[in-house]
Structure 1
Amino acid sequence: MMGPVLAACLLIILSTAWISQANGALCKKDGGVCTCNDKTKSVDCSNIKLTAIPSNIPTDTDRLVLQGNKLSSLPRTAFHGLSSLTFLSLFDNELQTLPAGVFDELKNLETLWLAQNQLQALPIGVFNHLVELDRLDLNYNQLTSLPPGIFDKLTKLTRLDLDRNQLERLPNGVFDKLTQLGTLYLSTNQLKRVPEGAFDFLEKLKMLQLQENPWDCTCNDILYMAKWLKKKQDEGLGGVDTAGCEEGGKAVLKITEEEAAEDCVYPNTTTAIPTTIITTLASSNDDDIPELPVPQENFQKFLGYQEPDHLPTQPQCLMSISGYLGLMMSLVLTSAAILYVIHFLKKA
C-alpha cells in the first residue's frame, strides 16, 4: 500500500511545481518575456503588447516599467502588494480611466508616468496615498478638468506635467499644497484664465510653460495672472513670457487694466436661475412634465457606478516558446504520475 501513497505524493509535488512555474514565468530567465534585474529589483515589461498587468510581479520590485503596451484599463488591485515601488511607468498605453484606490499601496512611489494615454478624467483622491511622489507626468492625455484637491497630498512634488491635454479650467487652490514644485507644464490646453491666487504658493517654481492656450485678455479675470507673471519675470522665473493672448498674440504679462476691462462670465461659472423659471416650475403639474428617457449607461455614470474590477487575463509573459516547453514537460510528468497511481491502485 505504500506504492500508491508515494505516487500520490509525487503527483502533488509535480502539480505544485507546474503551478509555480506558471505563476513564475514572468522574467525571460523563467520562460517569460519581461526583463528582470535581481540586483536593482527592476522589472521591465515594456513594448510587448500586454493587455493585462502580470499578477506575479515580485513584491520587492523597486522599478516597474509597463510602457508601450495595450493596457486599456486597470483593476483596482493592480499594484497591491508592491509597496516597495519607487518608479512606475504606464507611459504610452491606452488607459481611458483609473479606478479609485489603484495607487493606494504605493506609499514609497517617487515617479509616476501616465503620459500618452487616453485619460479623460481623474477619480477624486486617486493620488492621495502617494505622499513621497516627486514627479507626476499626465501630459498627452484628454483631461478637460481636474477634481478639486487632486494634488493636495503631493506635498513633495517637484515636477508636474499637464501639457498636451484639453484642460478648460483649473479648480480653485489646485496648486496651493505644492510648495516644493519647481517645474509646471500647462502648455497646449484650452485655458482662458486661471483662478485668483492660483500660483501664489509656488514659491520654489523655476520653470512654467503656458504657451498654446487661448488666454482671454479682454476680461479682467486675466489681470491676476498678468501681474503675477510680470512680478515673476523680474524675479527670473523661466517661461513667464510663454503665455500669449488669443487675440493679437500679445504677452499676457503686458496686458493693462484698460485692455482687460470687461466683466466676463464663462460657461462654467455658476449663475442664478431666473425667478420666472423658478415660478413656472413651481406652479407646473407633474402631469405636464414630459418623461425623458435616460440611457442606462448615463444613469449609472450619474450614480457613480463602476463595473466590478475585472480579473487580469493570463499574463502574456507566459507566451514564449521556452514557457510552453516547460509547461509541456510538467504535463508529461504529471500524466506519468497519474498512470503510476492507477497502476498501483489496480494491484491493490
Structure 2
Amino acid sequence: MMGPVLAACLLIILSTAWISQANEALCKKDGGVCSCNNNKNSVDCSNKKLTAIPSNIPADTKKLVLQGNKLSSLPNTAFHGLKELTYLDLDGNQLQTLPPGVFDHLVALGTLHLNNNQLQSLPNGVFDKLTLLKELSLYKNQLQSLPNGVFDKLTGLKELGLQINQLRRVPEGAFDSLSSLNILYLNTNPWDCSCKDILYLRDWIDDNKDKVTGAQDAACGDQQSKAVLEITEKDAASDCVSPNTTTAIPIGTMTPASVIYDDIHEIKVPQENFQKFLGYQEPDHLPTQPQCLMSISGYLGLMMSLMLTSAAILYVFHFLKKA
C-alpha cells in the first residue's frame, strides 16, 4: 500500500507546483517582462529597460514597481485600470512631464515615488484625487516651480520630498493644508532670498522646525552660507514677479500632445492588437530574445508539470487497480 500513498503525495506536490505555475502565468500577462507575487498582489517591473508601461498588469495589483527603466513619458490613461493600487514606484526613469489626470483613478494610493527623473514642472491638480496619499517623493528632479494649490488635497500626507531640485520659491500657502505632515525635505534648492515671497517659506519653516529635515540646509541660492530660516524682511526687500512657470497652465486652455497621442493609439488596428497580445503598447516594444526565452521556458516548465501530474495520476490508478 506504500506505492499508492507515495504516488498520492507526489500528485499533491506536483498539483501545487502546477497551480503556482498557472498563477504566475496569469500574472505575467505583460509578455513575461515583470515578476509577480500573487499572494501580495505585487508586480515588479524594475530595471527592465522599458520605454513604455507593459499592458495587462492585473487589475487587483496593489504594489507596482517601475523603478530603473527608460520611461520618458506616460499616457494619461497609464494607470486608469489599477484602482486598488496602494504603492507606485516610478523612481529612476527619464520622465520629463506628467500628463493631466494620470493619477486620477488611483484613489487608494498611499505611496508615490517620482524620484530621480527629469521633471521640470507639475500639471495643475495632478495630485488632487490622491486623498489617501501618505508619502510623496519628488527629490532629484529639475522642478523649477510648483503650481498653486498642488498639495491642497493631500491632508493626510505624512512625508514630502522636494530636495535636490531647482526650486527658487513656493506659492503662498503651499504647505498650509498639510495638517498631517511629519517630514518635509527642502534642502539643495537654489532658494531666491531676495524676493518678498520667500518670507512665506521662512515663516513656515520657523513654525515647523520639527518637521523640516535639515532646516538649516534650506539655503539661499546666492548666499549658501545663509539659510532661508535666517532671512530678514530687509534681505527680502524686492517685490519680484514670479515667472510664468510658477502657475501651471490651466488644463482647459490646451490639449497636451500626450493626450492627442493617446487618442491616436486608441484606434484599433491589427498591428496594435498584435502588440497588445504580446503585452506592449508601442511598436518598438516587441519582446527581446531574453524575454522570449523567459516566456518559452515558463511554458515548457508548465507543460512538464502537466506531464508529471498526468504520470502520477496514472501511477495512482495502476496501484489502486492492483489493490
Normalised TM-score (structure 2)? 0.70
Match of 1:137 in 2: 113
Cα 1:43–1:264 change in 2 (3 A) is same
Match of 1:245 in 2: 220
For 2:74, the aligned partner's letter is L
1: distance between equivalents of 2:299 and 2:157?
51
The one of 265, 283, 292 aligned to 1:308: 265
1: distance between equivalents of 2:198 and 2:139?
20
Match of 2:297 in 1: 323
Structure 1 portions without partners, runs of 5+: 1-28, 271-298, 331-348
Match of 1:74 in 2: 53
Number of residue pairs the alignment of both structures matches: 258
Match of 1:209 in 2: 185
- Say if 2:193 and 2:235, in contact at 8 Å, map to a contact too: yes
Deviations 1:167-212 (A, max 9, x none): 0110100001111111111011110000000000111111111111
- Say if 1:36 and 1:44, in contact at 8 Å, map to a contact too: no
- Say if 1:42 and 1:64, in contact at 8 Å, map to a contact too: no
1:85 deviation in Å?
A: 0.7
Deviations 1:70-111 (A, max 9, x none): 101236xx246x221110000000001111111111111111
1: distance between equivalents of 2:84 and 2:258?
34
Deviations 1:102-121 (A, max 9, x none): 11111111110000000000
Cα 1:73–1:246 change in 2 (3 A) is same
Higher helix share: 2
Does residue 1:65 correspond to 2:80, yes or no? Answer: no
Cα 1:79–1:160 change in 2 (3 A) is farther
Does residue 1:95 correspond to 2:63, yes or no? Answer: no
Deviations 1:112-170 (A, max 9, x none): 00000000001101101111111100000000000011001111111110000000110
- Say if 1:44 and 1:64, in contact at 8 Å, map to a contact too: no
SS of structure 1 residue aligned to 2:43: strand
2: distance between equivalents of 1:324 and 1:242?
51
Structure 2 portions without partners, runs of 5+: 1-16, 247-254, 267-271, 281-285, 305-323
The equivalences for 1:1-348 within 5 A come to 54=33, 62-74=41-53, 78-79=55-56, 82-233=58-209, 236-239=210-213, 240-249=215-224, 250-268=226-244, 301=257, 304-306=260-262, 308=265, 311=275, 312=280, 313-314=286-287, 317-320=291-294, 323=297, 326=300
Q: Between Structure 1 and Structure 2, whose CA radius of gyration is higher?
A: 1
- Say if 2:87 and 2:112, in contact at 8 Å, map to a contact too: yes
- Say if 1:61 and 1:84, in contact at 8 Å, map to a contact too: no
For 1:110, the aligned partner's letter is T
- Say if 1:209 and 1:242, in contact at 8 Å, map to a contact too: no
1:265 deviation in Å?
A: 2.0
Cα 1:53–1:94 change in 2 (3 A) is farther
- Say if 1:36 and 1:43, in contact at 8 Å, map to a contact too: no
Cα 1:53–1:195 change in 2 (3 A) is farther
For 1:118, the aligned partner's letter is Q
Normalised TM-score (structure 1)? 0.65
2: distance between equivalents of 1:157 and 1:303?
25
Cα 1:60–1:308 change in 2 (3 A) is farther
Over the matched positions of the two proteins, sequence identity in percent amounts to 42
Match of 2:8 in 1: none
SS of structure 2 residue aligned to 1:133: coil
- Say if 1:59 and 1:83, in contact at 8 Å, map to a contact too: no
SS of structure 1 residue aligned to 2:229: helix
- Say if 1:111 and 1:136, in contact at 8 Å, map to a contact too: yes
Cα 1:58–1:251 change in 2 (3 A) is closer
Cα 1:115–1:269 change in 2 (3 A) is closer
2: distance between equivalents of 1:38 and 1:322?
16
2: distance between equivalents of 1:200 and 1:37?
50
